[in-house]
Each structure stands twice: as C-alpha cells, then as structure tokens.
C-alpha cells in the first residue's frame, strides 16, 4: 500500500480534502465509500495490472500458493466471506501492496526475502488489515464518487511508479512539502493500525507471530547496509524503530507458537529462483547449492534444480531430479506438474497428460492440476474432451475466469461460436468489465449456431447483465 499512499499523498492536497474532513480512525465502516465502490476501484486497478503490467505473474501454482496463505489470514479476519485476490508481481524489490476491495499484490522479491512462511504471512496480514480497515476509502473521505477516475489514474501511476521508484518522490516534491506532511502523518496512523490488526489476524491464523518483527528488522538492517538502495518496502512505507518495537512487544506477550513452513513455501521459492538469470546460470547456482548442502530445504533446492534444468532443456537430468524429489517428499501435485512440463518439453504431451490424469485422481481439489490437464488435452487437439472436463469444472468454480477463458478456446476450436462468446462474456463479467461482457452475449445471440436451450440461456444472462448495468448507471446519476 505504501506506493499508493505516497501517490495519494501527492494528489490529495490539490483536492478539497482537509484533515478535518477525514473520518475518525476508529470508524472502520468505510461508509463514505461503499464496499461496492471499493470493489469497483480495486477491479479497475486489477484490469490495468493484469493486462498492462508485463510483470504480472500469470502462473496458477504460484498464485494458488499465495492465495492459500492469504486465505488463511482472511479467514481469521472479520471479512472472512469477502472475495480476496492475492497475486504476484515479478519484481526483485521487496514490496507488497493492497488495493481497495480485497486485492493484494506481492512482489516476487518479497517472497524470496522472507526466510519463513510466517514472515511472508506477517506482511500479508498487514496488507489484509489495510483492506479490512478500509484505509484508502477513509483517506479518500467524502470525495469518493467524482474521484473514481482520479483514483484509477493514481493506481495506474502506482503501477508505473513500481518501475521507477523515484516517481512517487517527484510527485511529492511537486505537491509541496507542507501539505504532504499532514497526509503522511495520517498514513503513519494507518500503518500502525495495519500492524496492530494484522498481528491479530496472524495470531488467529496460527502463524508464528514473531515473524512480522524479524522480517521488518532484517529489512531495517539491510537499509543501514545499503543506504541508497533500501528495500522498496521501507522506502515507500514509513517504518520506524517504534513500529518494530511494538511488533516485538506484541510477539512477546503472545504465547509462542511454532509454525513450520509448508513444503510448498520451499517449492515456490525454488521455482522463482530457477527463473533468475540465464538457464545455465540457474543450473550452476543450484548445482553449487546441492554440492555444498547450502539450502534451507533440500526439496526446495532440488525442485529449483529440476526447474532450471527444464529451462536449460536438459530433459534427461530434469527427469532424474524429479525422480529424486518423489523419493524425498512422496507424490506431490507440484512435483507431478513439473514432471509433466518436463515430458511436454521433451515432446511427449501424451505422457504428460497421463501423469496429470494420475495426479488429479489423488488431488482433485488442486485447481492448477485441472488447468494443466485441460491444457494437455488442448495441446493434443482433444477439444471435445477438454470442453467436457471444463463444463464440469465451471459448475464447481463458476467464478474462475481462467476456466471460462479455456472454455472459450476449446469452443472456438470446435467451431461452437455461441458457446465461445458466452464463455468470453463470463471472463469479462468476472473481471468487472460489464459492457464487454454484454457485447460478447450479443455476439453469442448473433452467432446463429446454438440450440433453443442455449439461446434461451444467453438471453437470460443478457437480461441479468443489462439490469446490473442499468443499476450502475442509476447509481452514477445519483452522484
């Protein structure tokens, strides 16, 4: 949230918002900006990130992992029923941010800098607290309706600023130092509140609550060592000695709780490390680690080595490492998916499909496996089987845009145009792009290749979405 705060701090002074107009810190209702409005702002920003930020990580396994950890924290919060979405940004700087409405971005650099799962969870808990406490909404105060475009612009600015951290600084200078200071003081209160509330979530979720303090402490130390190259988290996020002391005190008062890292924590980190540098460099790095036994988890290092070997297209060695991994941790869906990628790389998509089919039988709840299995079917040109599998899956996960997108692909290959546009409509709908969703349904109507039942279903959905759009227009006019 820090970069966004800096930019908010820079833009707000030109708007008629004074400190007196801002709601009390104790008011967490977010009543001035409705939860629906918050969600809309978040969705709008998400669309920008998803489609315009080349660093957005579109990897189901990595995304599934951060959502599993994030979900544990959300369940411990009062917003347990809200749809949160955690996503990764490929960026080496150690940072995370949250958007209104339940979207939390995590830089891959942060995942790699965290030395334990509880440290990662500590940062996520802080970000979840920003969302549940409606910090942005409270900062925006009464300007909410007319400010939507401004906010969207600021969020886009935030994304740009991620690439050039000095932009936030520049905006601040432009806005004038004195008015910025009062906003910054205000955001420090938010930081303290996010620490305090986040700590409660972390504790209730069963993580080691010392994780927050140790992580921030390590960042602080790194800052002292690299004065001009401080981790982004600190540069954009006011962190004081006082905040660390607060976290340590809270951790001391709480009963110590051991929270061993999940195996996935190590596999995910191995996978991210394997993508650094050239494939040859990555292989060399992991070979070195294995030789010197210089790793926190052998499975993580081996998984990294196998992934690096896959990148280097050394399929025989990668296959050997996958076999060692199976010996080490038994059958694991992430290992089986890696095995399937190695087979696909070696040109045997059929073997990959069989590996995935077998793994699915043991892990029916692991969605990345479903995606990979359907993709294997699609790669083999078995679109009827893919469409059948997807039809079942969307019944279980109707809010999964990726599934609808895959469905559209198979329907297109099968020449089923009504179904293709209908599936695309759901993709847009789930991304909060109502007009585009309606357009797809109209295309579905005009396709002329559906049966009576399918045409009625498109018409019914079109009526629903038009009603939703009319409601939005009505709300907009009330502003």
Q: Which residues bind Zn ion (CB under 5 A)?
A: 1, 191, 194
CA distance 83 to 432: 13
The CB density around residue 273, as the number of other CB atoms within 10 Å, is 22
**CB-wise, 125 or 325, nearer to Zn ion?**
125
**CB-wise, 238 or 432, nearer to Zn ion?**
238
The CB density around residue 30, as the number of other CB atoms within 10 Å, is 21
Q: How far is the CB of 199 from Zn ion (least distance, A)?
A: 13
Q: How far is the CB of 2 from Zn ion (least distance, A)?
A: 6
Q: How far is the CB of 436 from Zn ion (least distance, A)?
A: 33
Closest CA to 229 of 217, 219, 242: 219
CA distance 216 to 340: 38
**CB-wise, 134 or 343, nearer to Zn ion?**
134
Q: How far is the CB of 193 from Zn ion (least distance, A)?
A: 9
CA distance 67 to 140: 28
Q: How far is the CB of 4 from Zn ion (least distance, A)?
A: 9
For Zn ion, the nearest residue by Cβ is: 1
State whether residue 85 is helix, strand or coil: strand
Who's near 14: CB < 8 A, 6+ residues apart? Answer: 175
CA distance 70 to 76: 10
Q: How far is the CB of 315 from Zn ion (least distance, A)?
A: 44
Q: How far is the CB of 75 from Zn ion (least distance, A)?
A: 21
Q: Name the CA dihedral angle for 152, 158, 159, 165, rounded to a multiple of 10 degrees.
A: 170
Who's near 64: CB < 8 A, 6+ residues apart? Answer: 366, 367, 368
**CB-wise, 246 or 354, nearer to Zn ion?**
246
Instruction: Look at the block and give the residue holding tokens 């498109």.
Output: 458
**CB-wise, 230 or 339, nearer to Zn ion?**
230
**CB-wise, 5 or 429, nearer to Zn ion?**
5
Q: How far is the CB of 198 from Zn ion (least distance, A)?
A: 9
Using a 10 angstrom Cβ sphere, with 0-12 exposed, 13-18 middle and 19 or more buried, the burial of residue 276 is middle
**CB-wise, 1 or 349, nearer to Zn ion?**
1
Q: How far is the CB of 195 from Zn ion (least distance, A)?
A: 8
Strands 96-99 and 103-107: antiparallel
**CB-wise, 57 or 194, nearer to Zn ion?**
194
Instruction: Look at the block and give the residue holding tokens 């059929």.
Output: 350
Instruction: Look at the block and give the residue holding tokens 């990959």.
Output: 352
State whether residue 99 is helix, strand or coil: strand
Q: How far is the CB of 23 from Zn ion (least distance, A)?
A: 18
CA distance 203 to 190: 20
Q: How far is the CB of 237 from Zn ion (least distance, A)?
A: 6
**CB-wise, 196 or 417, nearer to Zn ion?**
196
Strands 103-107 and 85-89: parallel
CA distance 223 to 236: 13
CA distance 352 to 109: 31
Length of the chain: 479
Task: Compute CA distances 35 → 136, 170, 191, whole Å.
Answer: 12, 32, 21
Q: How far is the CB of 411 from Zn ion (least distance, A)?
A: 43
**CB-wise, 194 or 419, nearer to Zn ion?**
194
**CB-wise, 1 or 356, nearer to Zn ion?**
1
CA distance 107 to 97: 9
**CB-wise, 138 or 367, nearer to Zn ion?**
138
The stretches of 331-451 forming alpha helices (DSSP H) are 333-345, 349-362, 367-379, 383-396, 401-413, 417-430, 434-446
């Amino acid at each position: 949230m820090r970069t966004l705060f800096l930019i908010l701090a820079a833009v707000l002074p030109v708007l008629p918002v004074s400190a007196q107009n801002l709601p009390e810190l104790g008011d967490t209702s977010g009543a001035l900006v409705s939860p629906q409005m918050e969600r809309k702002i978040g969705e709008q920003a998400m669309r920008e990130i998803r489609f315009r930020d080349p660093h957005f990580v579109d990897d189901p396994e990595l995304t599934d992992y951060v959502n599993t950890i994030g979900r544990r924290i959300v369940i411990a919060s009062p917003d347990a029923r809200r749809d949160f979405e955690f996503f990764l940004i490929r960026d080496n700087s150690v940072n995370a941010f949250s958007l209104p409405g339940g979207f939390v971005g995590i830089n891959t650099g942060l995942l790699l800098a965290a030395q334990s799962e509880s440290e990662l969870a500590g940062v996520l808990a802080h970000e979840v607290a920003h969302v549940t406490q409606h910090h942005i909404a409270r900062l925006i105060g009464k300007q909410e309706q007319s400010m939507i475009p401004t906010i969207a612009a600021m969020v886009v600015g935030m994304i740009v600023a991620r690439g050039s951290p000095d932009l936030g600084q520049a905006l601040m200078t432009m806005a004038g130092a004195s008015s910025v200071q009062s906003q910054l003081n205000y955001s420090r209160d938010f930081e303290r509140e996010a620490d305090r509330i986040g700590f409660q979530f972390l504790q209730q979720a069963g993580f080691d609550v010392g994780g927050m303090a140790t992580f921030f402490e390590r960042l602080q130390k790194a800052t002292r060592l690299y004065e001009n190259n401080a981790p982004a988290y600190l540069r954009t996020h006011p962190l004081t000695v006082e905040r660390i002391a607060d976290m340590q005190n809270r951790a001391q008062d709480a009963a110590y709780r051991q929270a061993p890292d999940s195996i996935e924590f190590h596999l995910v980190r191995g996978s991210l490390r394997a993508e650094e540098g050239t494939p040859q460099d990555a292989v060399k790095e992991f070979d070195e680690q294995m030789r010197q036994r210089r790793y926190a988890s052998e499975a993580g290092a081996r998984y990294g080595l196998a992934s690096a070997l896959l990148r280097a297209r050394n399929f025989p060695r990668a296959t050997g490492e996958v076999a060692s991994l199976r010996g080490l941790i038994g059958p694991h869906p992430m290992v089986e998916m890696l095995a399937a990628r190695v087979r696909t790389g070696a040109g045997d998509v059929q073997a990959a499909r069989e590996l995935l089919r077998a793994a699915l039988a043991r892990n029916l709840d692991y969605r990345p496996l479903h995606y990979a299995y359907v993709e294997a079917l699609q790669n083999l040109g078995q679109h009827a089987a893919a469409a059948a599998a997807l039809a079942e899956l969307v019944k279980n996960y109707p809010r999964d845009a990726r599934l609808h997108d895959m469905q559209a692909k198979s329907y297109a290959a099968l020449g089923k145009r009504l179904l293709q546009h209908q599936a695309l409509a759901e993709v847009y709908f789930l991304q909060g792009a109502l007009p585009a969703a309606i357009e797809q349904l109209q295309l579905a109507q005009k396709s002329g290749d559906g049966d009576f039942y399918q045409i009625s279903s498109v018409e019914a959905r079109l009526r629903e979405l038009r009603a939703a759009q009319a409601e939005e227009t009505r709300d907009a006019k009330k502003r």
